[in-house]
Structure 1
C-alpha cells in the first residue's frame, strides 16, 4: 500500500459506514467516464453487493461501447437519460460514493445533487488538489489509478474477502486503461502487486485486453486513420504534436462516445516527441487532452491555459474559443514552453 494522505481515522469511519448494516448505495463516476471511472465504480459496486448492500451506479452521461462488456449485474443508469429515476434513487440512498473525480463539477449536471446529499458521502480518487465536498475523502495522487486505490481501500477496511472475479476484472480494467496498458504511471511496485492479486482471482487479462483494445468499430478506425494522415501536426523544433478534429468531421465519421479514446497518445510514438495535444470541437467548447513524457508537466499546462488539470503526464481541459483559435493558441504556447520541452528527459 502507498496510502500517504489518508489518516487511519478516515478508514475507520469509512469502515463503520460501509460495514454497518446493508443498505442502498449509489456510486457515481465522473462525466464522460473512462475505463478507470467505470472499472472503479463496477469493481467497488460488486464488492459492496457481495457484502450485502443494494448498489446502483449512476453515470452523468453515457460511456463508450467498448466498456459495456463487464460481467456485472449491477444496474448502471445514465443520468441525462433518466433524471427523474436517478434523483429518486439518490434520495433513497443511505451512502453516496464518488469515484475517480475530486471536484463536484466533474459530475456535470449532477453537481448540485452531489453537493446537496445529506447522508454519508465518500470520495475515492487519485487526482491531485481535491475539493472538500464529501464527508470522507480518500485522495492519493501517487496511485496509478482509482481502481488500484480502491483495491487498497477495500483491503484497509477489511472488505477484501468480498472481491470476486467480476470485481477483479473491473478493477484490472481500470488500472490497465489508466496506465495506457501499463506504459505509464507504473513506477511503483504496488501497482503490479495489486494486479497480481487481481489475476489471482482467476480473471483472464488476455480477454480483458481484447475487449478493450480489439473491440472498436470500423468507423472509429477510419476516423483514427484520417486524423493521423490529415489532422496531425508535428512540431519537431518543440518536440510536440497535436491532433484536432471539427464537429463536422466527427459527424462525417458517425462519431460515437469513446471513438477518440487514446488518439492523444499516438503522436508520442513519433521519435523525439514528448508532448501531445488533442483538440475536439464540441457544440459550446473545445475539449482538450494532453499527454507528455518524462517530467514535462501536462497538468500545470492544462490548468494554466485550458481550465483543466490532471496528472503530470496526463491531463485534460477545455477552451471556450473556437477550434481555430484554440489551435493557434496552442501553437503560440509551444514557443513559450520551448525551453522546457527541449530539456525534458525521457
Structure 2
C-alpha cells in the first residue's frame, strides 16, 4: 500500500494540470475529500492548475464550489476520483478524457478502475485517507487551514459526528490534527446538523406515515408533490434518513426520493449488510449505508423484496 501512495504522490508532482472528481449526489465526504485535495495541491504547488468538477448541492456549498471547465483542459491532465466505488457513479463523465486516472476510495473495491488505485475500507472516509497521505508525505503534500476544514467536514459527515461507521483511534487522532488548524469546527457541525422548520414538519410526518415489513424494513416515499408541499429540497429531505433508525425492531430503513428522471434510494441498516442489494439497483456503497437508483415507482416493491431477503 505504501508503494501505491508513493506513486500517487509522484503523479501529483508530475502533472501540471490536475482535475478532481467524486461521486454523483455528493455527500460531505465526497465534497470534503475533493475540495480538501484541491487545497492541498494548490498550497503545495502554487503553479499547478487544479480544478474540482461535478454538480453542486446548495446546502453543501460551504465546503467549496465547483469549477466549470471546457473539455480541452483534460488534455494531458491527471484525473483523481475521490470517494467513488464504481465508474457509473462518477460525477462528470469527462473523467475518461484525462491522460492518467487515479482512484482513491474507502468503499469496498467492487469495481477496480484507474491507472493507480488506492482503496482501503479500514478508513472512516476518503477524507481521512487523504489526510493520512499528507501526513505520510509532509514534504510533498502540505495541509493548510482550507484543506483541514474540508477534510474535517468529510470525516464528520461519514462518521455521523463520530457516532457511526469505522472510527479508529487513528480517525480521532487525525481529527485532532485537523482541528489544530483553527477553522472553527463548531460551525461545520452547525451547518451539517441544522434543520429548517420545513424539514422538522416533514420529519414529523415521516414518523406518522412510514411503512414497515414483517422483516423489519422501514421505508418512506418522497414524491415531487410532497417535496413541494414542504418547500424542501431533495438534499435536505434525504438527510432525514436516520429519522427511522431508532425504531424498535427496525433493521433496515429506506428513503425513496423522486427526481426528474429517476427515483433515488437511500438505504441504511444497523447490522445487516445491504450494499449487495444496492448494487442490484444501479448503486453501491458501504455494507450498512448505500444508495441506489430505480427508474419508476413500480420498482419500489422489488427493492423492498430484496431487502427483506437479506434480513436475518
Q: What TM-score, normalized by structure 2, do the two folds share?
A: 0.89
| Separation in 2, partners of 1:335, 1:130 | 23
Q: CA deviation at 1:250?
A: 2.0
2: distance between equivalents of 1:160 and 1:271?
Answer: 50
Distance of aligned partners of 1:220 and 1:160 in 2 relative to their CA distance in 1, 3 Å threshold: farther
Instruction: Specify the SS of the correspondent of 2:236.
Output: coil
**Superposition deviation, residue 313 in structure 1:** 0.8
Q: 1:198 to 1:56 in 2, by over 3 A?
A: same
Residue 257 of structure 1: CA displacement? Answer: 4.5
How far apart are 1:223 and its partner, in Å?
Answer: 3.2
* Runs (5+) with no aligned partner, structure 2: none
Classify 1:121/1:159 alpha carbon distance in 2 versus 1 (closer, same or farther; 3 Å): farther
CA–CA distance in structure 2, aligned partners of residues 13 and 290 of structure 1 = 35
- Counterpart of 2:66 in structure 1 is 76
Task: Kindly indicate whether the alpha-carbon contact (under 8 Å) linking 1:28 and 1:97 is maintained by their aligned counterparts in 2.
Answer: yes
Instruction: Map residues 327-346 of structure 1 onto 2, 5 A cutoff.
Output: 327-333=300-306, 335-338=308-311, 340=312
Match of 1:153 among 125, 128, 133: 133
Aligned with 2:190 (options 191, 194, 210): 210
Q: 1:32 aligns with which of 18, 22, 25?
A: 25
Shift of 1:137: 0.8
Measured after TM superposition, the shift of residue 308 of structure 1 is 2.1
1:267 Cα shift?
0.7
CA distance in 2, matches of 1:184, 1:192: 13
Alpha-carbon offset, residue 24 of structure 1: 2.2
User: Is 1:140 matched with 2:123?
Assistant: no
Tell me, yes or no, if the aligned pair for 1:40 and 1:99 is still in contact at 8 Å. yes
When residues 54 and 337 of structure 1 are mapped into structure 2, their CA distance, relative to the original with a 3 A threshold, is closer
RMSD: 2.3
What secondary structure does 2:238 align onto?
coil
From 52, 58, 67, the counterpart of 2:60 = 67
- 1:258 partner SS: helix
Task: Please state how far the C-alpha of 1:130 moved relative to its aligned partner.
Answer: 4.6
CA contact (8 A) 2:40 2:143 kept: yes
Cα gap change, 1:262 to 1:87, in 2 (>3 Å): same
Deviation string for 1:88-124 (max 9, x for gaps)?
4333x6321111113221125x32x22232x232211
Instruction: Return closer, same or farther for 1:40/1:335 CA change in 2, 3 Å cut-off.
Output: closer
Q: Does 1:280 align with 2:275?
A: no
Question: In structure 2, what is the equivalent of residue 226 of structure 1?
Answer: 205
